[in-house]
Every structure is written in C-alpha cells, then in structure tokens.
C-alpha cells in the first residue's frame, strides 16, 4: 500500500499522486490500443504494437484506435479542467458544463450552424465555443455568483432549466430540418469514435489561449477561494478573474463539444475525484485533473466498445451512468462540500 494514501488529501505529495495518475493513464492508453470492436484480437493487437502485425492490423491499431485514444485524451483533459475552473469560480461543487447549460449552448450553436447550411465536416470550432460562452454567461447571469445568490441549488436549477430549453430548441430545429438531423444524430450522443486527427489541429489555437487564461488565473482563483475581500486585499480583481475563467471554460468546453459532442458529467466527476485525492486547493486540483479526465473518458470509451459488440454504446450514455450517482452522492451528503 502506498504510504501517501493514508495522509489527509491536502497533505499528500502532489508529485506522488500525479505520477501515480500518469501511470494509470499510460495503462488506459495501452488498453485502448489493445481492445476494441471488430475482429482484431488482443494478441494480434499486441503483436502489431511490437511491429509484427499485418497492414490491416496496423491501420486498426495505429490509425483508428490511436486517433480515438488521442481524441479521448483531449476531451477528458479539457472537460476535467473546465469543470474544476467552473466549480472554483462559482464556488459551487455542483457546477459542471453539462449541468449548467454550457454544453447545451454549444450544441444549440452547432445545430443552428447546420440548419444554416454548414456540415459536421466543415463546422468551425469557434461556433461551438461561441455557443458555450453564451450558455455559460446566461446561467451565471441568471443565478448570480455573488452574495446571497451564491446558492448551489439555485445555480443547478438555473443550469438545468437553460439546458432543457436549449435542448428542446435544438430538437425542434432538427425536427424541421432533416439534413441537419441526419448530420447531427450521432454527434449529439457524444462519441470519440470515427474522428480524424485533423480535428485536434483545428482546436490548438484556442487551446493555447485557454492555457494562457488558466496560467493567469490559477493563483488569483486560489486567493478568491478565501473570499472576495481577501482576494481584493491581495491585489486581485475578482470580476476580471471571473471573466477570464469564463472565457477559458468556453474555449475548453466548446472545443471538446465540437470534436466529440456533448459528453456530460466529466466536468463534475473529475474535480470531485481530484479534490478527494489532493484537497480543495485549485492549483493542486488542476494538476491532477490533467491525467484524471483522460483516464475516465478513455476507460468509458473502452467499455463502450466492449459491452454492446458488434455495435458500440455511445460514450455520453456511459459517462451519464457514472456521473449521475456521483451527483446524487454530492447532493445527498449531509454537508455540501465548500470551495
């Protein structure tokens, strides 16, 4: 048994926990290359990784499964980080892009673009990110993040209402546009299957901006967790911090949604697990979200390939199966965790 596991979360060495999580992520990536639907066995996949596979096996492992693993890694990383940022800036453990209308706003923007003539192959990431930004601003604006309005339940109710409204409007739009409905049918369930590696290049510029935003706000966010007056006393500007964080969340969630569709609960489960391992300090939480998000998404994707062979279960369905009990656990806890 690892000694640090017996320490309190805030006292555990971050480097030890982070390296352990990295090792688990490497194992998940290997399993993702070995397992999958289709006729390629685990033994044949392993031989292919060792350089002894046929041309078809090499295509399956090094192109199809490797690309899928990379996309899963990106989606898990972005949604996990976005969830931690959103929970920190809202000081609400229930804040999650899928619950608060951010993903729904992104989906609605994509549906509108499809109706106006775009196709899933030509969609720009900026459309999904713009929708995510609007969804984020609407929910936080309605629920208010400050003073007596900083109520976890109020925020979730506002997010659920906005998500339901946007999803209903998206369905209504698609009902009257068969071409858009055909284009988006598979995308709306959330999946990392069949994505081309080129889609990752399209989000790199916005991800660089998001990284800069995170680097800029990590320390101020830790101060903001001590209270707005403390943050102001330390020379930070809470309103500016929140604006930059919301921009980063929109870029991260919009990029992930444009690539894989709406994948719910990752932004809730990953920060929840990270805080349980290393405590509530946002700087430690963000570091651990880097490997934990991909671990959960890639593991869910592996399971989605195996449970319904020869077909596949949508990734979004599996993440909901995992995430919903976590949400219920948080809500039913006697003392709501504070951030």
- Count CA within 13 A, CB hemisphere, residue 213: 22
Q: Which of 70-74, 100-104, 234-238, 286-290 shows the lowest mean pLDDT across its residues?
A: 100-104
- Count CA within 13 A, CB hemisphere, residue 329: 9
Q: Supply the pLDDT for residue 291.
A: 94
Average pLDDT for residues 255-277, to the nearest whole number?
Answer: 86
Cis amide bond preceding 52, omega within 30: no
CA of residue 330 relative to chain centroid, distance: 19
Helix (H, G, I), strand (E, B) or coil at 267: helix
C-alpha distances (whole Å) from 19 to each of 73, 107, 215, 303 are 17, 35, 21, 24
Percentage of the chain with pLDDT > 90? 17
Element (H, E) at 124: none
pLDDT in tens, 90-140: 777 877 777 777 878 888 888 888 777 776 666 667 888 888 888 878 877
Q: How much is the mean pLDDT over the chain?
A: 81
> What span, in angstroms and rounded, lies between the C-alpha atoms of 206 and 172?
30
Return the closest-CA partner of residue 136 out of 80, 71, 87: 87
Q: Supply the pLDDT for residue 51.
A: 83
C-alpha distances (whole Å) from 43 to each of 34, 53, 61, 332 are 8, 10, 12, 45
Q: Which residue has the higher pLDDT, 245 or 103?
A: 245
Q: Is the pLDDT of residue 172 over 70?
A: yes
Q: Supply the pLDDT for residue 42.
A: 86
Both tokens of residue 140?
Answer: 């936080």
Q: Is the pLDDT of residue 27 over 90?
A: yes
* Count of other CB atoms within 10 angstroms of residue 333: 10
Burial of residue 187 (CB within 10 Å: 0-12, 13-18, 19+) is buried
- Is residue 319 within 8 A of residue 263, CB to CB? The reply is yes
Q: Is the pLDDT of residue 58 over 80?
A: yes
Q: What distance, in Å, lies between the first and last C-alpha atoms of the chain? A: 30
Domain spans, the chain: 66-332
Q: Which of 115-119, 141-145, 163-167, 327-331 shows the lowest mean pLDDT across its residues?
A: 141-145
Q: Is the pLDDT of residue 316 over 80?
A: no
Architecture of domain 66-332: Orthogonal Bundle (1.10)
Return the closest-CA partner of residue 251 out of 136, 140, 144: 136
Helix (H, G, I), strand (E, B) or coil at 117: coil
Average pLDDT for residues 63-92, to the nearest whole number?
Answer: 89
Q: Supply the pLDDT for residue 129.
A: 82
Average pLDDT for residues 226-251, to the nearest whole number?
Answer: 85
């Amino acid at each position: 048994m690892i000694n640090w596991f017996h320490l309190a979360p805030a006292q555990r060495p971050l480097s030890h926990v982070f390296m352990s999580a990295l090792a688990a992520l490497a194992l998940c990536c290997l399993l993702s290359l070995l397992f999958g639907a289709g006729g390629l066995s685990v033994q044949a996949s392993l031989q292919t990784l060792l350089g002894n596979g046929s041309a078809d096996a090499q295509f399956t492992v090094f192109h199809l499964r490797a690309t899928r693993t990379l996309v899963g890694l990106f989606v898990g990383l972005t949604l996990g980080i976005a969830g931690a940022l959103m929970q920190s800036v809202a000081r609400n453990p229930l804040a999650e892009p899928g619950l608060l209308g951010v993903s729904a706003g992104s989906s609605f923007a994509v549906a509108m673009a499809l109706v106006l003539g775009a196709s899933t192959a030509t969609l720009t990431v900026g459309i999904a990110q713009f929708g995510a930004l609007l969804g984020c601003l609407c929910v936080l604006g309605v629920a208010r993040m400050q003073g007596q309005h900083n109520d976890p339940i109020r925020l979730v109710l506002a997010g659920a209402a906005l998500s339901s409204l946007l999803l209903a409007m998206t369905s209504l739009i698609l009902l009257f546009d068969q071409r858009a409905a055909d284009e988006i049918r598979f995308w709306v369930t959330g999946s990392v299957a069949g994505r081309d590696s080129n889609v990752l290049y399209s989000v790199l510029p916005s991800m660089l901006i998001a990284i800069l935003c995170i680097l800029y706000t990590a320390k101020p966010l830790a101060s903001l967790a001590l209270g707005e007056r403390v943050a102001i006393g330390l020379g930070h500007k809470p309103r500016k911090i929140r604006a930059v964080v919301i921009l980063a969340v929109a870029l991260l969630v919009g990029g992930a949604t444009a690539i894989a569709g709406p994948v719910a609960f990752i932004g809730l489960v990953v920060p929840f697990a990270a805080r349980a391992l290393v405590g509530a300090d946002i700087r430690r939480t963000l570091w651990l979200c880097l490997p934990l998000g991909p671990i959960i998404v890639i593991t869910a994707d592996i399971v989605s390939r195996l449970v319904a062979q020869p077909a596949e279960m949508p990734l979004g369905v599996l993440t909901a199966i995992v995430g919903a009990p976590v949400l219920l656990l948080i809500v039913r806890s006697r003392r709501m965790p504070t951030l």
